[in-house]
């Protein structure tokens, strides 16, 4: 039976919010009998707080943040469920244009390591790199990329947090020398001539889980029919987004002011690295969550003793996905 | 009072300054975007940020990464979102969120935020200390029990053994007890 009350879903302006934006624009939510209102949010902290306070029913959210919320890292514990994974890949590391020659072509950070060593010998200040949130795949990818070239992420560089929409400006202003964020914000920095993409998520780790669609565990229990309908609409939108024939229409939808608000040509140029649909992409595999927990432990966000599997299984819920899609 | 207002719109900084009229000394600094270096330099007593500002994540991350730079943060919600303030503060999920911003309320709101922040910090420090005390007391109890069992001593005598070890080595009782337990575990593992 169709649920009648209006459902409020939050998203942060990024390409990987496509499933929500497409489902809303093309009427896939309506087709499931849902009345959905999308709300554009400026920060992940606000998405987190509004989910916890019940002001959002569900959201496009950083996969590691759902684990952090459940465990009460950086906030009061709020048990979350992620019944639908939105994408693999789609993030990249960009360095400031003025450093592009010194750091080399990538995708490794060896050139950056040499630059850091040279700057240290000269007594220059450490370079600053931004990611989008402490509990984000972007933070972990950036750290992994740095560590892969022998750079200590906690000693050799300064790491900070910046909203994706601010990164190009911070690069231009010399506040940061590089960042890891989801598209289209790397492409925006490139188009403005202030940055150069040195590595894509897939260069660092294949099939990197990035964003999920999540609700609180309480909401999922309270509204099982609405949740199943949301999953079906998102699955349909993900399949639609993945089709090459729909690429320019997708770019047009994402470019809108109320969506991402970035020029359509920039969006179109930034859609290559992202996987919206395909085997194992949307079904939330607890093994992926366990891998994320491993990253959180590696970078001291979690105690080593924590049981990976139980937290992964509590948040990543393929059973809800399967039930909604009758698989 | 030193207040840092982070807001792309300059109207709010003007409102804050107006609302704090009469507070001496007063230094309200307005910046369009949050700059960590500038903030550290200014050392505000309180930070005011629009809840819709993208810089919230930067401020939020300071909470976990850099305890020294921690400041009470007041967030003002512009859009009418009834409940966010109360719910968020109640759940402890956001620093401080207040609906709307009226000149007459600015001073009270900032003062409450600072008081509450200091109270929370004190509570957290107390809680950490209480947890640490409890943990060390448990360790001492376990070490005492082991000595009683191994040497057939009564509780008081076992305690005296530990205290003597502590005094002789000039190290805290809990540390001595912890080392004793670790040593005992190694010996047991070897047999």
Reported as a single tens digit per residue, the pLDDT across A149-166 is 999 999 999 999 999 999
Asked if B57 lies within 8 A of A75 by C-beta distance, the reply is: no
Q: Which helix (H) or strand (E) holds B68?
A: none
Query: pLDDT band at B38, cuts 50/70/90?
Result: confident
- At residue B101, the pLDDT reads 62
Domain covering B129-190 in this structure, CATH number = 1.10.10.10
DSSP state of B153: -
- Report d(CA A307, CA A75) in Å as an integer: 20
CATH for A7-88+209-325, options being 3.90.400.10, 3.50.30.60, 3.40.50.280, 3.40.190.10:
3.40.190.10
Rounded to whole angstroms, the Cα distance separating A198 from A113 reads 14
The residues of chain B that CATH labels 3.40.50.2300 are 2-101
Distance from CA of A287 to the nearest CA of B (A): 27
Measured between beta carbons, the chain A residues lying within 8 angstroms of B51 are 46
Q: What string of DSSP letters covers B16-31?
A: HHHHTTT-SS-EEEEE
Q: What is the pLDDT of residue B191?
A: 44
Is A184 within 8 Å of A262 (Cβ atoms)?
A: yes
Lowest-pLDDT range, A58-62, A128-132, B15-19? B15-19
SS3 category, A92: strand
The correct CATH number of A91-204 out of 3.40.190.10, 3.40.50.300, 3.20.20.70, 2.40.10.10 is 3.40.190.10
Q: Do A53 and B36 touch (CB under 8 A)?
A: no
In degrees rounded to 5, what are phi and psi of residue B6? -105, 110
Residue A48, pLDDT score:
92
Question: Is there a contact between A42 and B63 if contact means CB atoms under 8 Å apart?
Answer: no
The CATH class for the domain spanning B2-101 reads alpha beta
Whole-angstrom distance, CA of residue A48 vs CA of residue A225: 23
DSSP state for residue A124 in the 8-state scheme: P
Question: Is residue A182 within 8 Å of A271, Cβ to Cβ?
Answer: no
Interface test with B, best of A163, A165, A176 (most B CBs within 10 A): A163
A172 band by pLDDT with thresholds 50, 70 and 90: very high
Max Cα distance, chain A (Å): 69
Quick one: average pLDDT of A179-207? 94
Q: Which residues pair with A93 in a beta bridge?
A: A180, A199
What is the three-class DSSP state of A294? helix
B83 secondary structure, DSSP code = T
Domain A7-88+209-325 and domain A91-204, same fold? Reply is yes
The DSSP 8-state label assigned to residue A16 in this structure reads G
DSSP B107: H
Q: Mind telling me how many Å the CA of A74 is from chain B's nearest CA?
A: 7
pTM of the model: 0.79
Residue A94 token pair: 């960009």
DSSP label at residue A155 = T
Name the residue in chain B with its Cα closest to that of A77.
Answer: B93
What's residue A179's pLDDT?
A: 97
Interface test with A, best of B41, B54, B90 (most A CBs within 10 A): B54
ipTM higher than threshold 0.90? no
Distance from CA of B22 to the nearest CA of A (A): 33
Interface of A with B in 147-206 (CB under 8 A): 160-163, 165-166, 169, 175
Q: Calculate mean pLDDT across residues A39-46.
A: 90
End-to-end CA distance of chain A: 20
Chain mean position to CA B172: 26
Residue B10, token pair as written in the block? 């300059």
Tell me the pLDDT band of B82, cut-offs 50, 70 and 90.
low
- The domain locations on chain A are 7-88+209-325, 91-204
Report the C-alpha gap between A227 and A220 in whole angstroms: 6
More confident residue, B19 or A198: A198
pLDDT at B103 over 50: yes
For A140, residues 6+ apart whose C-beta sits below 8 A from its C-beta are: A64, A292, A295, A296, A298, A299
The residues that bridge with A158 in the sheet, in sequence order, are A128
Is the pLDDT at B15 greater than 50? The verdict is yes
- At B102 the pLDDT is 67
Distance from CA of A198 to the nearest CA of B (A): 24
Tell me what the mean pLDDT of segment A276-293 comes to.
93
Chain B positions touching chain A (beta carbons under 8 Å):
33, 35-36, 51-61, 63-65, 81, 83-84, 87-88, 91-94, 97
Say if residue B67's pLDDT is above 80: no
Residue B36, min C-alpha distance to chain A (Å): 9
């Amino acid at each position: 039976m169709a649920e009648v009350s209006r459902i409020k879903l939050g998203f942060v302006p990024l390409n990987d919010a496509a499933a929500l934006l497409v489902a809303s624009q093309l009427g896939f939510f309506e087709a499931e009998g849902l009345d959905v209102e999308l709300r554009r949010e400026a920060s992940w902290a606000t998405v987190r707080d509004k989910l916890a306070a019940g002001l959002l029913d569900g959201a496009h959210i950083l996969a590691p943040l759902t684990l952090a919320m459940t465990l009460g890292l950086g906030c009061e514990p709020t048990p979350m469920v992620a019944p639908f994974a939105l994408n693999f890949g789609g993030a990249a590391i960009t360095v400031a244009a003025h450093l592009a020659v010194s750091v080399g072509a990538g995708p490794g950070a060896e050139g950056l390591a040499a630059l850091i060593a040279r700057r240290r010998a000269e007594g220059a200040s450490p370079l600053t790199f931004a990611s989008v949130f402490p509990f984000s795949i972007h933070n972990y990818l950036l750290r992994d990329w740095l560590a892969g070239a022998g750079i200590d992420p906690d000693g050799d560089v300064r790491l900070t947090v910046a909203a994706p929409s601010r990164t190009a400006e911070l690069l231009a202003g010399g506040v940061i020398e590089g960042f890891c964020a989801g598209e289209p914000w790397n492409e925006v920095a490139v188009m403005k001539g202030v940055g150069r993409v040195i590595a894509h998520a897939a260069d660092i780790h294949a099939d990197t889980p990035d964003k999920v669609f999540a609700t609180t565990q309480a909401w999922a229990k309270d509204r099982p029919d609405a949740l199943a309908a949301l999953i079906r609409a998102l699955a349909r939108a993900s399949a639609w987004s993945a089709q090459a024939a729909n690429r320019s229409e997708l770019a047009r939808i994402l470019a809108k002011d109320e969506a991402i608000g970035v020029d359509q040509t920039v969006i179109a140029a930034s859609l290559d690295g992202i996987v919206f649909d395909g085997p194992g992409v949307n079904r939330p595999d607890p093994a992926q969550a366990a891998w994320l927990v491993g990253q959180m432990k590696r970078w001291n966000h979690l105690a080593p003793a924590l049981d990976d599997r139980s937290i992964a299984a509590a948040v990543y819920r393929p059973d809800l996905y399967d039930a909604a899609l009758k698989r | 009072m030193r207040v840092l207002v982070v807001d792309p719109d300059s109207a709010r900084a003007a409102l804050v300054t107006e609302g704090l009229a009469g507070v001496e000394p007063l230094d309200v600094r307005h910046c369009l975007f949050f700059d960590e270096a500038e903030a550290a330099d200014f050392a505000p007593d309180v930070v005011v940020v629009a809840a819709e500002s993208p810089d919230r994540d930067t401020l939020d991350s300071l909470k976990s990464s850099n305890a020294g730079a921690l400041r009470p943060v007041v967030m003002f919600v512009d859009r009418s979102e009834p409940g966010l303030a109360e719910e968020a503060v109640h759940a402890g999920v956001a620093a401080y969120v207040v609906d709307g911003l009226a000149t007459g309320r600015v001073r009270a709101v900032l003062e409450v935020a600072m008081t509450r922040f200091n109270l929370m910090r004190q509570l957290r420090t107390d809680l950490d200390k209480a947890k640490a005390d409890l943990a060390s007391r448990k360790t001492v109890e376990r070490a005492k029990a082991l000595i009683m069992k191994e040497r057939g001593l009564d509780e008081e005598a076992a305690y005296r053994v530990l205290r003597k070890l502590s005094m002789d080595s000039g190290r805290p009782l809990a540390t001595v007890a912890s080392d004793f337990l670790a040593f005992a575990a190694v010996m047991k593992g070897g047999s």
